[in-house]
Amino acid sequence: MLKQPVIKEVQLDDIINKFVFIAVILAVVLGAASAQTASTPASSTQTSTTSTAPNGFRAGHILVRFKTTPAQAVLDQLNTAFGAKAVGKIAEIGVTHLQVQPHAALALLNHLRKRSDVEFAEFDSEVKTFLQPDDPYFSTSLASSHYGTVSQWGPQAVSAPSAWNLTLGDSNIAIAIVDTGVDSSHPDLASKIVGQYSYVGNSAKDGFGHGTHCAGIAAAATNNDVGIAGMCPNCGILSVKVLDDQGSGYMSDVASGITYAASHGARVISLSLGGSGRSATLRSALDYAVANNALPVCAMGNSGSSSNTPEPAYWHDCLSVIATDQNGVKASFSNSGVKADVAAPGVAILSTMPTYPVTLTTSYGYHTNYDALSGTSMATPMVAGVAGLVLSKNPSLTPAQVAGIIMASSGDGVSWDPNLATAPFPYRYLQWTCSAIAVRRIWTSMCRTSWSGRAGLSISVGRRRGTVPVSLHGCR
């Protein structure tokens, strides 16, 4: 992980054993899906991971949700007693952002938590990207800055070309990249941008490079004789900037970005970022997203831990993603454990970079236009792109159904491995999934074992247990 303001992910290394790519999803799930019938910015100034507040929290900034909308007199009282000012609001989830002098913050927090009219109050907390710096390119190589000569290998590893025979995606399905912004002038992205918004300053422009890289993985233009191929070639990209030009930010802005994306039509929200807190505000934002038909896909983080899951990946509403390397095993840097749901390629992933100088190019030696990066940050938009393909075939699926189908279709669909979320298929089985015969075999097997008829999908994978209602036609 980058030592400066950014968490970055390590190069490929040895690792634990066993892996699961999401390859089986692309053929099986899309077949399943096709069978079925369809803000106001909070204030922000970004820093890195420590402050004068308790470690990992933002000094002087408190997020509070009153049980009912507070009268102005209540806010005036807090201003008189503590000097607190309302500097923002996440209207969709009823959260007010208060700012106070750092020395008075703890007293204000304790006061709010004791009030009978307050549902919760908490410090704002810090978040960072999960990046590990240290179409011609779909089949030919590029001299990368940190990984030697590379070409795209992730889409092939998850059998994307076979999925593209079923669908290239739908422009009505928007994938939100809630990140550092996106270079909307990039030749592989310009035609894909359906909207941009920023909670950081006055510009939605990517000044760091991370968001542009993630956007390309998820949905770069494909078959256009330019650059790389995106996982969901025809899906739209909604860029919501919540992190600054150093790749750092605050949970209040991330929560605002999530609710903005969900309110503006995103069906998938890619979150390649995280913080160490446990924020009720962020959890409420994720709940809001799911309630508004958007699936959050979240990076598991890069500390190599099996227990230290950052948020938002910590929360149940997220489809949480582990990174794997070219050998199909867990990347050495990737977090894992019971909070993980699925694994995807995340080492030396070639994608778009801003066409102009940004922090990653000027301070860390990465290239403009295209370069390879590593991290759960890169694995996450790959899964987000898969979710976009699934929804393109069947937009009536709910977030829970999409997540359930992806998890149940990964690995063997039944067992679970804490290192990789789901148990692995043999490599040859991954190759089979793209043939019509293999799809039919797997589908028949799923009808007999994993699927509970037309009533629902029985899941016992990781932390998600229960039945996701999915009506499936074609089981015999």
Residue 278 and residue 395 share a domain: yes
**pLDDT of res. 144:** 87
Domain boundary among 93, 125, 157: 125
Q: From the candidates 377, 392, 409, 450, which is the catalytic residue?
A: 377
Residue 170 and residue 81 share a domain: no
Residue 73 and residue 31 share a domain: no
- Assess whether 377 carries a catalytic annotation: yes
Is 277 contained in some domain?
A: yes
User: Average pLDDT for residues 317-324, to the nearest whole number?
Assistant: 94
- Assess whether 144 carries a catalytic annotation: no
Residue 220 and residue 94 share a domain: no
DSSP character for 357?
Answer: -
Cβ proximity of 350 and 145 under 8 Å: no
- Assess whether 191 carries a catalytic annotation: no
Is 446 contained in some domain?
A: no
Within 13 Å, how many C-alpha atoms sit on residue 443's CB side?
21
Is 16 contained in some domain?
A: no
Is 443 contained in some domain?
A: no
Residue 306 and residue 271 share a domain: yes
CATH of the domain at 61: 3.30.70.80
Using one digit for the tens of pLDDT, what is the confidence trace for 416-465? 566 665 433 322 222 222 222 122 222 223 322 332 222 232 222 334 43
- 361/373 Cα distance (integer angstroms): 12
Sole residue written with tokens 């959050």: 296
Residue 162 and residue 66 share a domain: no
C-alpha to C-alpha distances, 457 to 388, 453, 461, nearest whole angstrom: 20, 8, 11
User: Average pLDDT for residues 323-330, to the nearest whole number?
Assistant: 90
Residues paired with 175 in a beta bridge: 237, 268
How many domains would you assign to the chain?
2
Looking at the chain, the whole-number percentage of residues with pLDDT higher than 90 is 59
Is 330 contained in some domain?
A: yes
Using one digit for the tens of pLDDT, what is the confidence trace for 57-69? 898 999 999 999 9
Using one digit for the tens of pLDDT, what is the confidence trace for 152-170? 888 888 888 888 888 899 9
Residue 139 and residue 109 share a domain: no
Is residue 225 scored above 90 in pLDDT? no
Residue 162 and residue 115 share a domain: no
Q: Quote the mean pLDDT of the chain.
A: 78
**pLDDT of res. 322:** 93
Residue 329 and residue 305 share a domain: yes
Could you tell me which residues come within 8 angstroms of residue 109 by beta carbon, excluding any fewer than 6 positions away? Answer: 62, 121, 122, 123
User: Radius of gyration of the chain from Cα atoms?
Assistant: 21
Residue 70 and residue 167 share a domain: no
Residue-number span of the structural domain to which 174 is assigned: 23-40+129-409
Cβ proximity of 250 and 59 under 8 Å: no
Residue 115 and residue 205 share a domain: no
Is 452 contained in some domain?
A: no
Using one digit for the tens of pLDDT, what is the confidence trace for 189-221? 999 999 999 999 889 999 999 999 999 999 999
Domain boundary among 409, 432, 448: 409
Cis peptide preceding 399, ω within 30 of 0: no
Is 14 contained in some domain?
A: no
Q: From the candidates 135, 170, 179, 325, which is the catalytic residue?
A: 179
CATH of the domain at 198: 3.40.50.200
Domain boundary among 352, 387, 409: 409
- 431/380 Cα distance (integer angstroms): 22
Q: From the candidates 210, 276, 351, 392, which is the catalytic residue?
A: 210
Is 49 contained in some domain?
A: no
Residue 172 and residue 295 share a domain: yes
